[in-house]
Structure 1
Amino acid sequence: MAALRSINQDDLRNHNLSVIIDTILRSTTALSRADLAKATGLTKATMSLLGALLLENRVIREGEPETSQTTYGRPSTPLSIARGRWAGVGLQINTDGYGCLALDLDGTLIDSAWVDDDMREAEPDQVFANLDALAKPIEANLGGRNYRVVGAGLALPGLVTDDMRLLMARNLGWERLDLSRFDLVRRLDPTAGNEARLAALAQIPGFATQRPADGGDTPLSPTDSFLYISTDIGIGGAVVRRGAVEVGDHGFAGELGHASVDLNGPTCRCGRRGCLETYAGRRALVEAAGIASGAEAVSTQAMDELYRRWQQGDDKAVDAIDRGLDAMISVIATAINIVDVDTVILGGFWSHFGGNLAQRLQSRLNRLTLGRTAVTVRVLMPSLAEYPALRGAALVGLRRFIDNPLGFFEE
């Protein structure tokens, strides 16, 4: 029988440091050392020692001592995540462009760049070279400001395996791509993933960053479950269960865009007929509204024109949106019945149509789901609507530090 691996002091200390950081990130209020000791189950002595280590390495900072008229003794000192030392880098290649983003551990955006471009049928080598060139000035900026990059994430619109292979990204025209062959990937060693799942991570409060600095409320808690729908030329999805994304046995869960709503419908790029994205994807909607076709149908101008015509009540635009909405409702209602969640976040292109459309979607879902007499479904717009997958990729990079802080501390 193989010997069980023992847990040494560094393992235990690393685990406790990670728990403390996570607890601060997920808290809705400032926490003192005593609060953290109570929340984590650590002794006050251990909390004091580990708190000093986190302060020394600029992971946390102390606020102004707080006094209370109902308590006696020393005033408590609130602790929060520090800014200016640890950074995560997010990378994304999508159907409408590519970009890079750097995020501070406290959630502050440090730097970002995005290039709008029609990426369909683009050559992978050139795209990764362009993204590499875009990322290098951001990395240089981080170094000049004494940040340490602790990890990176890469969001892609397709199926990605754990061993860094892109099996397919049909809307890019890419298949069976070994990501490790690119200089950018070898240099930054990003964790690659599907863009919808990374966008969903960005909606989870406290996944790697604190609540909004302005103290604003969020409709979600760190342990909520929800279905995230990512809508663009293609449509993706992610199931978040109690604050964690369900990836499936092979990492491919959530491909709602390729659920068929009509087996006799239009042929999808995946080879099936009547997939959701052939009715509700951005290109499909623009073409159905008679605004543009082909390459022109995926332009920003075409999208803006669709929205303008829909607002003005243009018959073809309204009909296209209504048909797309019908398809969305069919797939989402089925997904809710299968995975049993009561919250849907509508991200990407469809979020531009505003809260009224979300209310229509919510109203109809609550008439169609099987558990409607016991559970009320709510449909929300994303709290982070602009480049959420890019931000989620940066958060994945930051998690490398949060899960293993000792690995980054200087001896």
Structure 2
Amino acid sequence: MATLKRINQDDLRNHNLSVVLNQVLRSPQPLSRADLAKATGLTKATMSLLVSLLIEHGVLREGVPLVQAVYGRPSTPLIIAGGRVCGIGIQINTDGYGYTVLDLDGSTVAERWVDRDLHEVDADEIFADLDAMLLDQEQTLREQGYILAGTGIALPGLVTEDAHLIVARNLGWENIDLMQYDVIKRLNVVAGNESNMAATAHLPGYATQVHDEGMVGPDGSFIYVSTDIGIGGAIVRDGKVVDGGHGFAGEIGHLSVQLDGPQCRCGRHGCLEVYAGRRSMVERAGLASGDAAASQQAIDMFTQAVFDGAEPMHNVYLKAFGAMVSAIVSTINLSDVDTVIIGGCWAQLSAEERERMQAEVQRQILARDKVEAHILLTRDMRRPALIGAAQIGLRKFVDNPLAYLTADSVA
């Protein structure tokens, strides 16, 4: 019975540490011990012990005391220390691959990206290169005294919970067991769809210190639409990505917007991706075909031609715009989530076009008399899926801090 009691006490302390970390990460303003006790419902004595433990292990530090009144003790703000806990994010996309290392305080510790066309490239080659890149980075993190909480990898395809890539059509990859690769096994990598990872990056305070209110709150609900060569999506409800029964929810790019439309790479006809995907728009405009249509130069040419009002580019854009509206309306009707965040090439819409899209969506949604749709554009976040993957890794520490702190003490 004594052993059972000790385990329960450890579980309770671990839970309370996680609650404290969540509260600190989600607050744009530094909180004192008293603020944390009030926000969490924990006693001041318990809070003092928990904070002392986090300070002792270099996770938190005390800021400059604030004198709030003539009488009474100054309030001491608590701040994520930085330089102690980090997470690694890996991404493989059609335009390259690489990694980023995020500190718990939200700063970027290190990053590396290889620009490369990855259509039909050999998966073994890419994972071998990532392995070599990250071996060097891991050694550097150890020398800097970092605790590596975890690692996530964002992939443009369907990925199962047991790290099996079913298909990534824009890479030409199918049926790949990711656990065969040393880098995945060594770092115990959490693999996921890039849209889900990108959506996670938009949740303020999810696993890194929040510095502003963000586009949505920590417990926000929104639809994320990732627009690139392919189009992906994710549904976030109450601060959590809705994975679905098998982990494949949110595939907005493969909603059919025209049943007799062109055939998509997925095999169906008239998918959103056929009309509004980056490569599809370039090809339909006749500017380039095949791999050349997927280049940044090609989409830049298309965008400029649309801006200049040139035909047939402008007509292609109008059809793509209508397809985007149609798919977003269907997703809002299905999910009852009224906020949509768009990332990627469609996030470069002008203010006027964003407003026009929002107005069209509002006009068409079923509950238009009761629900107000919001279309938001991600412009200030470079490679959100990469950031989200690192946060997935960091979240392991936030959810189970005592395991890392105990291991750190032993080391």
- Does TM, scored on the shorter chain, surpass 0.5? yes
AA aligned opposite 1:142:
L
- Can you give the 5+ residue segments of structure 1 that lack an aligned partner in the other structure? none
Does 1:362 find its partner at 2:358? yes
After the TM superposition, which residues 213-292 of structure 1 pair with which residues of structure 2 at under 5 Å, given as runs? 216-292=212-288
Residue of structure 2 in register with 1:320 after alignment: 316
Q: State the secondary structure of the residue aligned to 1:180.
A: helix
Aligned length: 404
Query: Cα distance 1:399–1:139, how it changes in 2: closer, same or farther (>3 A)?
Result: same
Query: Cα distance 1:134–1:322, how it changes in 2: closer, same or farther (>3 A)?
Result: farther
Residue of structure 2 in register with 1:39 after alignment: 39
Could you tell me whether the CA contact under 8 Å between 2:348 and 2:379 is conserved in 1? no
AA aligned opposite 2:50:
L
AA aligned opposite 1:291:
L
- Can you give the 5+ residue segments of structure 2 that lack an aligned partner in the other structure? none
Worse-superposed segment, 334-343 or 26-35: 26-35
Distance 2:64 2:28 in 1: 18
Query: Cα distance 1:33–1:279, how it changes in 2: closer, same or farther (>3 A)?
Result: same
Residue of structure 2 in register with 1:297 after alignment: 293
Could you tell me whether the CA contact under 8 Å between 2:68 and 2:75 is conserved in 1? no
Residue 253 of structure 1, CA deviation? 0.3
Could you tell me whether the CA contact under 8 Å between 1:348 and 1:385 is conserved in 2? no
Residue 7 of structure 1, CA deviation? 5.8
Distance 1:128 1:67 in 2: 54
Could you tell me whether the CA contact under 8 Å between 2:202 and 2:214 is conserved in 1? no
Does 1:180 find its partner at 2:179? yes
AA aligned opposite 1:76:
S
The Cα offsets for residues 322-381 of structure 1, whole Å up to 9 and x where unpaired, read as 111111111110100010011000111211234333222111101001111111111111
Does 1:21 find its partner at 2:5? no
Could you tell me whether the CA contact under 8 Å between 2:225 and 2:234 is conserved in 1? yes
Distance 2:315 2:98 in 1: 34
The Cα offsets for residues 156-197 of structure 1, whole Å up to 9 and x where unpaired, read as 111111111011111111111100001111111110000000
Query: Cα distance 1:328–1:81, how it changes in 2: closer, same or farther (>3 A)?
Result: same
The Cα offsets for residues 247-267 of structure 1, whole Å up to 9 and x where unpaired, read as 011101001111111221111
Distance 1:251 1:285 in 2: 29
Q: State the secondary structure of the residue aligned to 1:184.
A: helix
Distance 2:384 2:268 in 1: 28
Residue of structure 2 in register with 1:197 after alignment: 196
Distance 1:304 1:383 in 2: 16
Distance 1:355 1:134 in 2: 40
Does 1:121 find its partner at 2:117? no
Query: Cα distance 1:315–1:128, how it changes in 2: closer, same or farther (>3 A)?
Result: same
Residue of structure 1 in register with 2:348 after alignment: 352
AA aligned opposite 2:404:
F
Q: State the secondary structure of the residue aligned to 2:72.
A: coil
Does 1:49 find its partner at 2:49? yes
Does 1:87 find its partner at 2:86? yes
Distance 1:400 1:121 in 2: 33
Distance 1:136 1:303 in 2: 35
Q: State the secondary structure of the residue aligned to 1:336.
A: helix
Q: State the secondary structure of the residue aligned to 1:386.
A: coil
Distance 2:126 2:351 in 1: 35
Distance 1:349 1:253 in 2: 22
> Share of identical aligned residues, percent?
53
Could you tell me whether the CA contact under 8 Å between 1:202 and 1:384 is conserved in 2? no
Distance 1:85 1:232 in 2: 35
Residue 300 of structure 1, CA deviation? 1.2
Residue 304 of structure 1, CA deviation? 1.5
Distance 2:195 2:240 in 1: 14
Does 1:373 find its partner at 2:369? yes
Distance 1:181 1:296 in 2: 32
Distance 1:326 1:297 in 2: 21
Distance 1:271 1:345 in 2: 27
Could you tell me whether the CA contact under 8 Å between 2:28 and 2:213 is conserved in 1? no
Query: 4+ runs of 1 displaced by more than 4 Å?
Result: 4-7
Distance 2:5 2:202 in 1: 36
Distance 1:363 1:131 in 2: 44
Residue of structure 1 in register with 2:306 after alignment: 310
Q: State the secondary structure of the residue aligned to 2:309.
A: coil
Worse-superposed segment, 83-92 or 375-384: 375-384
CA root-mean-square deviation: 1.6
Query: Cα distance 1:262–1:168, how it changes in 2: closer, same or farther (>3 A)?
Result: same
Does 1:148 find its partner at 2:147? yes
The Cα offsets for residues 73-118 of structure 1, whole Å up to 9 and x where unpaired, read as 1011011211101110000111111110000001101111111211
Residue of structure 2 in register with 1:105 after alignment: 104
